[in-house]
Amino acid sequence: MYDKREFQKRRAAALKYNRGEGSAPKVVASGRGAVADKIVEKAKEFDVPLFKNEALANSLLDVDIGEKIPPQLYKTVAEVFIWLLSSEQLAVKEKEAEEEANKQK
């Protein structure tokens, strides 16, 4: 059975950050329901890691597409980017270890 309330609960947002610009990350996509599903689908398609934080997603829905995140979200978004960098570094180390193990076979 279709539950519209449950469908609308799904929320997602995508951020873009260019270190060289020296400014805050921008919201490049956000939405509820089917739009949120599409954002998640595209992230998976391009191997973009997903980070679940309902409160942050709700706050990002209030930011217009193309706008920088507000200062009150800097700390939380910084924590997400730290997690992202750590995840990427771990993935690189795991890949290097796997390649090294394959060389020794």
- Beta bridge partner(s), residue 15: 27
Q: Which CATH number belongs to the domain containing residue 67 in this structure? A: 3.40.1690.10
When divided into structural domains, the chain yields a total of 1
What's the whole-model pTM score? 0.75
Helix, strand, coil in percent for the chain, rounding step 5: 60, 15, 30
Domain containing residue 26: 4-103
The dihedral of CA 83, 88, 90, 91: what is its sign? Answer: positive
H-type helices in 25-73, by residue range?
34-45, 54-60
Residue tagged 């449950």 (tokens): 6
pLDDT tens track, the chain, 105 positions: 455 565 567 999 999 998 887 789 999 999 999 999 999 999 999 988 899 999 999 999 999 999 999 999 999 999 998 988 888 777 778 787 887 878 876
